[in-house]
Amino acid sequence: MYVFLFVWFVAPVVFTIVVFSWWGAIAGIIGSALLGLLLVSVWMIFLLVLYILWINQELDLFVITTGRIIGIEQLSFLNRTVSECNLDEVQEVNAQANGLLANLLNYGTVYISTASERSDFCVNLTPDALVNARHILNVIDTHRYRAHGTPSAIGDDPVGK
């Protein structure tokens, strides 16, 4: 993953450096205007793909209410999936922070597993993933305590918090 990102961000820069260093030789062969058009085209394609990747990540939305979890995920440019489940169906909530950069910048991934195979949620690039996973568990414990009158799994009263 990191190798792909490195190549993806470095390739246009290297291409630009090569083109500018060999500008005279290349411009003599294909023409200066065509070379400029080629350079602009490479950067436009790079920025368009970067924008589409950013939009796909930015439009993912996860809403946790007092009764259910709703996940709206942007799968591709015009492809969206909406999933939801009741808080009673949640089996476990896990958080994961992989790598040096994720730990330094304090972000990670929160996994919410449900009773159904189709509605497992994966929230990527979550700030304070460990803290947010704990908040989600507190919301689930509060819901279960209010709905069923049973104390939470950790033994304290989540309603009083």
Q: Work out the percent of the chain whose per-residue pLDDT is above 70.
A: 89
Report pLDDT digits (tens) over 116-151. 877 789 998 899 999 999 999 999 999 999 988 865
Cα–Cα distance list, 138 to 116, 119, 155 (Å): 21, 20, 12
- Looking at residue 160, its pLDDT comes to 52
State yes or no: pLDDT of 2 exceeds 60: no
Neighbours of 158 (CB within 10 A): 19
Report the predicted TM-score, pTM, of the whole model to 2 decimal places.
Answer: 0.68
Distance of alpha carbon 20 from alpha carbon 10, whole angstroms: 15
CATH number of 60-160: 2.30.29
24-41 mean pLDDT: 79
pLDDT surpassing 80 at residue 19: no
Which pLDDT score, from 0 to 100, does residue 143 have? 92
Exposed/middle/buried for 62, CB within 10 Å: 0-12, 13-18, 19+? middle
Q: Average pLDDT of 79-93?
A: 91
- With a cut of 70, say whether residue 3 has pLDDT above it: no
